[in-house]
Chain A
Amino acid sequence: MLKHFLIFLLALTGMLICIPSDWLPVNMRLQWADWFGADAYIEPPGSRATPIYSNQVICPEDLPGWRKAQVIEGVSIRATKACIPDNPFTIATAVMGSNRVSPDTLNKSGLTPDAIVKGRDLDGDGDPDEIHIRLEVIELNGGSPEMQEPTTQFSIAPGIKPGLWVFAPKTLGMATENFESNRARALLRLPAPVIRVEQGDTVKITLENTHYMPHTIHFHGVDHAFLDENGEGNDGVPVTSEQALMPGFARTYDLNPRHAGTMYYHCHVQPQVHIMMGLQGMFVVEENRPNNLVQTLNVGAGHVRVPSKSVSEKYHREYDLHYQDIDIDLSNLIQQNNDVRLITEQMHRQYNASQAISDFYTLNGQSFPYTFRESLIVASPNENIKLRVANGGSHGIALHTHGHKTTLTHNDGVPVPEGAQITRDVFWIATSQRADLDLNTNNDGLHSYGDGVWLLHDHEEKGITNNGIGPGGNIGAIVYESFMREDGWPLTFGNSYEQYFSAEYYQRQLPVWHSYSNGFFDEAGPDITHIARVVGYWFFLGLALIQFVYLVKRFGSKI
């Protein structure tokens, strides 16, 4: 009896010793401190060792010499500063037409002979006006009945591979890049290619549905008749225009755009799903000029290395900027099952677009830091640069230019009258709107503050994160030539980019300021003392209860 009473007292004492002080009411602790002094110093837990993280080459070397200015098939292709430049043979083929280049150029372009067919010069002004483009539908980062990782991979940022659908140029051969990886070849990527034609062209666009779901194309803002010559639907909308195009089938759309401007195209089958999966691209109609061979496809958008005659009259450079966002809850669905009936049901019936929240924000198909590899706007002083901006995301974007105020010259392809043009540093671009901006680099304290590395980003702050981790999202930059390094990366004065090129950073595994804070902001380790006290408290509580029940029972039976 006495033994059990002693154990009971001991357990109570243990409980009191173990109880974490922050569990007690503050007033009690203050009173206690008045009587006996403050608590003793307890050393906080140390910092965790920073995990070893993988990083990638920030700016790969340009081995084939694609960055430099060059003439291919008589096409003058401008130099580009981008870390990952576009294939100049694809550009030359896009300008000349896949039916009008040498077999060697066509091979190096990766396109099929009928990918971009250019025909007769209808208005006799020295350039072909019959344009026939073929597009396929490609799934990136899709699922598989046997592999444990996505197929035909395309990373929007380090380690981030959301399932995507894109329109792609018609390519020859395999979908993957080379024999060592299952990465998608360069022509198969987000966003869908920018299509460029001339005002008045007779344009045919054949959709070859190489994907396992039905799709269409709706040409948004591009002049087209509701019915084509054969009386068939030409607007891309299931029900009102035509039946959705089934897997394995092809359909040709006829366009004859009478007005120039920055337009848009997208799939119109279950748009709340298909547009958000990536089936959307920019469509640019250039003003008609003599001998105006335009770059019919700009794969991956960005720098236009063969600008049209009309743009070259007024502008020193031209950039296509396509903004999108991705809801991972939608895009992951294609990775979970292989049966197309299950995928269809989950995407179009189980998934609820009205409750969607976007996780990733892209500029030209990539999120920071990859945006810096391909989509920097390189400038020199005293230039006018044409920015064609399209927002294909589910949210508006508040596009902010550091160090510059740009002027809005066109809304949805329609010119804004000279006197009514607005100059400002944040432009709101709603979903599916296009804005043509004139970036003037004259250092006058209004249009430009001079040379530098000036960010260009969405000021809706979630847009500059990768699933909430910053910096990420659609961050781009206006970089003056004097601030460009030889390798294509901007000359910067802040912290290293290294950790942003690791998948672990965006998987929330690295302390954000680790690379330059000398350990001040490393991740704190576990509070072992606290854990031990909590465990001890519950142990002694249990022990005390057992003894208490035992004593009560014994005591009760004695009476």
Chain B
Amino acid sequence: MNTRHQNLQRISLLFIWMVNAGASAEQVNNHAHHGMHLDNTGMVMNNNMDKLPVECSAISEDHAFTVYANVEYAKSFAGNSFGMSQHHYQVEPCSRITVTFVNQDEVRHQWMVHGLPNYIYPGGMFHLEAAGGKSQTGTFIVPGSDTTYLVHCDMAQHMEKGMKGQLQVGAGDGQLWAIPGVTGSINRDRYSGNKGVNRAALVAALFLLAVLVIYGARLFKKS
């Protein structure tokens, strides 16, 4: 599980800036060819309606998800600030997935999947970015193997504070850490509690200790 997590973490960092200063003309063309769309409402990157991954002979199923980004969704998970309406996605291998990402906040958000095959998705990712109050729709086709993909918003601290999910293809290959409402965290937060609770815990501990002592004494007496 640990190794798996770390692999996926690394994958989550996989990123080729779409048309960065060092990119060659060929790469730029590739991006254009791969359904790059950018305007004031945000962008769609690596849109793919029809290119099949090598393991797939045909599209198995069509899925459509409408995902909302809204700080209101963070309220369901105490301690978070950002939220999305869905954190777990389940599809069959070779599915074609259309995501409509509706951003109801006033700041931009992303819905990104990492770890997809590079030969179809440059940088291994499918990326929707919606400006505040806007929505984006894009389509991609998942490969034929059972894999769990990371879904997140990559803005600084958005994944950490609520915008993380997982896309399970088939049976998946394990779960990711710290998916709100699905899996727990590796790094546990240190809650200090308060005086009342701490005192009650102390009383409870002393009581349990007394029970143990009495039980032990009786046990020895019998023998």
- Give residues in A with beta carbon < 8 Å to B: 63-64, 66, 87, 89, 103-104, 107-108, 110, 112-114, 136, 138-140, 142-148, 151-152, 170, 172-176, 178-182, 184-185, 188, 208-213, 246-250, 336-342
Contacts and interface: CB of A to CB of B under 8 A. Distances in A.
B71 A112 contact: no
B91 interface: no
Given A142-B157, A144-B187, A146-B5, A108 B19 contact: yes
Contacts of A181: 13
B119 to A, nearest CB: 15
B131 A182 contact: no
Contacts of B14: 179
Contacts of B16: 178-179
Interface in B1-34: 5, 9, 13-22
B107 interface: yes
A250 B178 contact: no
Interface stretch (B78-86, B94-102, B135-143): B78-86
Contact of A184 (B106, B123, B156, B161): B156
Contacts of B9: 146-147
A139 B190 CA distance: 21
B191 A249 contact: no
Contact of B79 (A147, A213, A246, A340): A340
Contacts, number: 151
B145 to A, nearest CB: 21
Interface of B: 5, 9, 13-22, 38-40, 43, 70-71, 78-82, 105-108, 110, 112, 123-124, 127, 129, 131-132, 154-158, 160-161, 177-178, 185-187, 189-191
Given A87-B21, A145-B178, A173-B18, A248 B156 contact: no
B187 A146 contact: yes
Most buried by B among A89, A145, A147: A145
Nearest to B19: A107
Nearest to A178: B15
B156 A151 contact: yes
Given A113-B39, A179-B16, A181-B13, A151 B132 contact: no
Nearest to B123: A179
B78 A172 contact: no
B81 A247 contact: yes
Contacts of B19: 104, 107-108
A210 B18 contact: no
A342 B71 CA distance: 18
Nearest to A66: B21
Name the 5 nearest CB pairs between A and B, nearest first. Answer: A339-B79, A212-B81, A145-B185, A248-B105, A248-B71
A151 B154 CA distance: 11
Given A147-B9, A247-B82, 7 more contacts: A66-B21, A152-B156, A173-B15, A173-B43, A178-B17, A246-B71, A248-B71
Contacts of B185: 145-146, 338
A142 B156 contact: yes
A172 B81 contact: no
Given A139-B157, A180-B13, A340-B80, A249 B187 contact: no
Most buried by B among A113, A184, A339: A339
Contacts of B105: 248-249
